[in-house]
Chain A
Amino acid sequence: MSRAGGISDIERKVGAGSRITREDALRLFAHHDLPALGAMADAVRHRFWPDPVVTYVIGRNLNYTNVCWVRCRFCAFYRPPGSVEGYTLTRDEIGRKIQELVDLGGREVLFQGGLNPSLKLDYYLETFRWIKQNWDVHIHGLSPAEILYIAKMAELPLADCLTALKEAGLDTVPGAGGEILVDRVRKILAAGKDMSDEWIDFMRTCHVLGIRTSSTMMYGSVETLEERAEHLDRLRGLQDQTGGFNSFIPWSFQPEQTEMPGVARATAFDYLRTLAIARIYLDNIPSIQASWVTQGPKIAQVSLRFGVNDFGSTVIEENVVSAAGTTYRMDIDEMERLIRDAGFTPMLRDTAYRILGPYQRPASASALIRRGLAPPIVAGEARAGAAPLSPVN
Chain B
Amino acid sequence: MSGSGLEAIERKVIEGERLTGDDGLRLFACHDLNLLGRLANLVRERKNGDVCYFVRNQHINYTNVCNKDCKFCAFYVRVNDPAGYTLSPEDVRRRVAEQAHEPITEIHMVAGINPRLPYSYYLDIVRAVKAERPGVMVKAYTMIEIAEIVRVARKPLEEVWAELKEAGLDSLPGGGAEVLSDRVHAELFQLKQTPAEWLEMARSAHRAGLRSNATMLYGHIETHAERVDHLLKLREVQDETGGFLTFIPLAFHPENTELSHLPATTGMDDLKQIAIARLMLDNFDHIKSFWIMVSPQISQVSLWYGADDIDGTIIREEITHAAGARTPQGLTRSHLTRLIEEAGRVPVERDPLYRPVRAAEAAA
Q: Could you tell me which A residues sit within 8 Å of B by CB distance?
A: 1-3, 32-36, 38-39, 42, 264, 267-270, 272, 295-302, 304-305, 334, 337-338, 341-343
Quick check: B37 and A342 within 8 Å, CB to CB? Answer: no
**Distance of B264 from chain A, by nearest CB (Å):** 8
Q: B266 contacts which of A1, A35, A342 (Cβ < 8 Å)? A: A342
Type the 1/0 row for B293-323, where 1 means its CB is closer than 8 Å to any CB of A: 0111110110111000000000000000000
Quick check: A35 and B305 within 8 Å, CB to CB? Answer: yes
Q: List 7 A-B contacts (CB under 8 A).
A: A33-B344, A35-B36, A267-B300, A269-B342, A302-B267, A304-B268, A341-B266
**Distance of B201 from chain A, by nearest CB (Å):** 34
Contacts of A3 in B (CB 8 A): 344
Q: A297 contacts which of B38, B267, B338, B343 (Cβ < 8 Å)? A: B267
Contacts of B305 in A (CB 8 A): 34-35
Quick check: A42 and B301 within 8 Å, CB to CB? Answer: no
Given contacts A268-B298, A269-B301, A342-B268, contact A32 B344 (CB under 8 A): yes
Quick check: B266 and A338 within 8 Å, CB to CB? Answer: yes
Quick check: B266 and A267 within 8 Å, CB to CB? Answer: no
Type the 1/0 row for B23-45, where 1 means its CB is closer than 8 Å to any CB of A: 00000000111111110010001
Quick check: B301 and A2 within 8 Å, CB to CB? Answer: no
Contacts of B269 in A (CB 8 A): 341
State which residues 303-356 of B face A: CB under 8 Å: 303-305, 338-339, 342-345
Quick check: B267 and A35 within 8 Å, CB to CB? Answer: no
Contacts of B271 in A (CB 8 A): 302
Quick check: B34 and A305 within 8 Å, CB to CB? Answer: yes
A32 to B50, CA, bound (A): 11
**Distance of A34 from chain B, by nearest CB (Å):** 4
B84 CB–A CB distance under 8 Å: no
Q: A334 contacts which of B34, B41, B263 (Cβ < 8 Å)? A: B263
4 nearest A-B pairs in the assembled complex, by CB-CB distance:
A343-B31, A32-B344, A298-B267, A35-B37
B interface residues, how many (CB within 8 angstroms): 35
Q: B37 contacts which of A2, A38, A338 (Cβ < 8 Å)? A: A38
Complex: chain A residue closest to B295, CB-CB: A298
State which residues 206-241 of B face A: CB under 8 Å: none
Complex: chain B residue closest to A299, CB-CB: B297
Contacts of A301 in B (CB 8 A): 266-268
Contacts of A268 in B (CB 8 A): 296-298, 300-301
Contacts of B34 in A (CB 8 A): 34-36, 38-39, 42, 305
**Distance of B244 from chain A, by nearest CB (Å):** 26
Contacts of B266 in A (CB 8 A): 297-298, 301, 337-338, 341-342
A38 to B45, CA, bound (A): 18
A304 to B34, CA, bound (A): 11
| Further 14 A-B residue pairs, CB within 8 A, beyond A33-B41, A268-B298, A299-B297 | A2-B50, A32-B304, A34-B305, A35-B36, A35-B304, A268-B297, A272-B301, A295-B297, A296-B295, A298-B270, A301-B267, A302-B301, A304-B268, A341-B266
**Distance of A168 from chain B, by nearest CB (Å):** 42
Q: A267 contacts which of B36, B38, B268, B339 (Cβ < 8 Å)? A: B339
Quick check: A299 and B31 within 8 Å, CB to CB? Answer: no
**Distance of A296 from chain B, by nearest CB (Å):** 7
Quick check: B342 and A270 within 8 Å, CB to CB? Answer: yes
Type the 1/0 row for B190-215, where 1 means its CB is closer than 8 Å to any CB of A: 00000000000000000000000000
Complex: chain B residue closest to A343, CB-CB: B31
A159 to B206, CA, bound (A): 77
A272 to B34, CA, bound (A): 12
Quick check: B343 and A302 within 8 Å, CB to CB? Answer: no
Quick check: B298 and A299 within 8 Å, CB to CB? Answer: yes
Complex: chain B residue closest to A35, CB-CB: B37
Question: Which of A1, A38, A264, A304 is packed against the most chain B CB atoms within 10 Å?
Answer: A38
**Distance of A284 from chain B, by nearest CB (Å):** 23
Contacts of A39 in B (CB 8 A): 34-35, 38
A302 to B37, CA, bound (A): 12
Complex: chain A residue closest to B38, CB-CB: A35
Type the 1/0 row for B266-279, where 1 means its CB is closer than 8 Å to any CB of A: 11111100000000
Given contacts A38-B34, A38-B37, A338-B266, contact A33 B297 (CB under 8 A): no
Complex: chain B residue closest to A41, CB-CB: B34
Quick check: B50 and A1 within 8 Å, CB to CB? Answer: yes
Given contacts A42-B34, A301-B268, A305-B34, contact A34 B301 (CB under 8 A): yes
A106 to B38, CA, bound (A): 40
Contacts of A33 in B (CB 8 A): 41, 304, 344
**Distance of A3 from chain B, by nearest CB (Å):** 8
Quick check: A34 and B304 within 8 Å, CB to CB? Answer: yes
A296 to B300, CA, bound (A): 15
**Distance of B261 from chain A, by nearest CB (Å):** 13
Question: Which of A272, A296, A299, A305 is packed against the most chain B CB atoms within 10 Å?
Answer: A305
